[in-house]
Amino acid sequence: MKSDIRLHEAIVEKNPKNCSLVFCTPAASCVDVHNNISESFNNAIDPARYVPLVEMLETIRRSAMIRIEMRKQKAKNHKGRFTLRAKEFIELEQKKLKFCKFFPGSDGRKPKPKRKKGRHESPAKKRVSRERRIMHCGHCGIAGHNASKCKNSGAEKFKKPRKKTSFIEEDGIESMTQD
């Protein structure tokens, strides 16, 4: 058989490890099942492809049942908790785990600020004390009742007056006033 030198040079130029079967491994190189499932299925049904459809399906069924029984016996005879391949992955992860740092109680959010306790509240107690607190209405602003019990329901909603601040420059000109 005569080989073409130009073809050989073109393949070598394109990196033969990507396109030649010689450099491929017969087993799957990935742990994920879904990446190699079609190749495994095609390999399993290869002998059955050359017979009629019904016989082909029957052959595939028999080979699947044999494979299931074989794996069942293998799992039954296994004494350890994990398989050898799983043990290798666990050991590798344990080595990587040595270099990890753990920060407890953090889910990526800022922690809630602690509520300031009143002068009359105990610092040890968790519950809010309502003693000596004056309740004000949200509608009218009068002390002694809240908005749900307000008799002045027609009144406009009470707004606290805001402090006016002004920033005056040295030359006496007012530069900014906040309402």
Asked if 123 contacts 140 with a C-beta cutoff of 8 angstroms, the reply is no
Cα–Cα distances in Å, from 108 out to 24, 99, 103, 111, 122?
43, 21, 10, 9, 32
pLDDT of residue 91: 92
- 3-state class (DSSP) for residue 90: helix
Length of the chain: 179
% the chain with pLDDT above 90:
8
Per-residue DSSP letter, 104: T
pLDDT tens, residue by residue, 36-72: 666 667 776 777 778 788 888 888 888 889 989 998 9
Average pLDDT taken over every residue of the chain: 74
